[in-house]
Structures are given as structure tokens and as C-alpha cells.
Amino acid sequence: MTPEEKIKLEEKVKGVLEQIRPYLQNDGGDLRFVEMTDDKVVYVELQGHCGTCPHAMMTLKQGVEQAVIEAIPEIKAVERYI
């Protein structure tokens, strides 16, 4: 993947995350894009209530990751940045 391709893919990911953020914010949480690796794994930081919620991993995997991969199938995973 060229640097230009990576930047374009990251912008797509950020766009999907922006669509998800209002749902998290309604529950007092949020997320922040941290990075995307060369092997197309996205790292996000869970913030607010999402950072301490016992259901955070379920939200991350069944909500955020599922939405990102559905919109951008070339993404391999979305992981929590710690």
C-alpha cells in the first residue's frame, strides 16, 4: 500500500467513525482514531464512559468493528488502543 493509499483509507475509516460517534456520545462515551497499521488493523481509543464501561469490548467488536468492516471490507480488525 502506498502512503497515498494509506491516507485515503484512513480518511474513509475516520468518516465511518464519525458516523458512529453520536451513538457513543449519547451514552456519555466517545472514541478517537489513533492509527491504522500497514496490515489494515485500526486502533481507536475509547473515551468517556466507553473507556471504563464493562461492555466496552462488546461495543468495540460488535458495534464499531462491525460497522467499519461492513463499510470498508479491506479493514482486518478494529482494536482498542491502550
Grid coordinates representing 27 are 451514552
**Residue 6 one-letter amino acid:** K
Q: What's the mean pLDDT in 53-81?
A: 92
Domain-wise residue ranges, the chain = 3-80
Give residue 31's pLDDT: 94
- Per-residue pLDDT reduced to its tens digit, 21-66: 999 999 899 999 999 999 999 999 999 888 887 888 888 899 999 9
Give residue 56's pLDDT: 85
Q: Which residues pair with 29 in a beta bridge?
A: 48
Which CATH code of 3.30.300.130, 3.40.720.10, 3.30.230.10, 3.40.50.300 fits the domain covering 3-80? 3.30.300.130
Give residue 35's pLDDT: 97
Q: What's the mean pLDDT in 7-21?
A: 96
Cβ count near 7 (within 10 Å)? 12
Predicted TM-score of the model (pTM) = 0.92
Q: Which long-range contacts (CB under 8 A, 24 or more apart) does 9-16 make?
A: 9/36, 9/40, 9/72, 9/74, 9/75, 10/36, 12/71, 12/72, 13/42, 13/68, 13/72, 13/75, 16/67, 16/68, 16/71, 16/72
